[in-house]
Amino acid sequence: MSRRQDRLPVQVDPYRLAEQGREYDGELPLRQMKRLLPLLATETGVAAVSLRFGVDEMGVHYLHGTIQADLSVACQRCLEAMRFPAEIDLSLGFVGSTAEADRLPGDHEPYIVESVPVMLADIIEDELLLALPQIPMHDLEECPAQDYVEPEEEQDKAGQDNPFQVLADLKKTPDKD
């Protein structure tokens, strides 16, 4: 029997799947991710997921895999939709407490399992939320608002008109006592 499945389960027992060495490939619609959805400009699209559960030589039950999604987020400069390609490599180590998380080897990020079963979609959504930029913006050359943004040279010149520049100059002047 093959350990790879082309359909993602809804709920999983991560410890049992790790013991079995199960692998999953599939897609999860973005519109099902209730915490991610308010941060997106559109709810269309899917997250393509490839996951592998296992147990390493130190006995850590883990989940390794990749998540790829083409997200549409609002640029904070022009407020128009922009494409954000999320490509995530994940390496989670399943633990039962924060004390266990502190002892987890450095190559795994801790994932605290509070109860079994775990919603697999929640793990995927958590990783996508962590991948989002804090302040998404187009590259300045591509942004529709580029005509309204001062070039860096102009911003540097504007700093010369800073009223606090006098204080900075006084601080540089040697005392004559």
Instruction: Over range 58-75, report the average pLDDT.
Output: 94
pLDDT at 3: 65
**Which residue ranges make up each domain of the chain?**
4-147
pLDDT of residue 81: 92
- Phi-psi label, residue 137: left if phi above 0, alpha if psi -120 to 50, beta otherwise: beta
pTM here? Answer: 0.77
pLDDT given at position 1: 43
Q: Residue 167's Cα: distance from chain center in Å?
A: 42
Evaluate whether 102 touches 87 at the Cβ level (below 8 Å): no
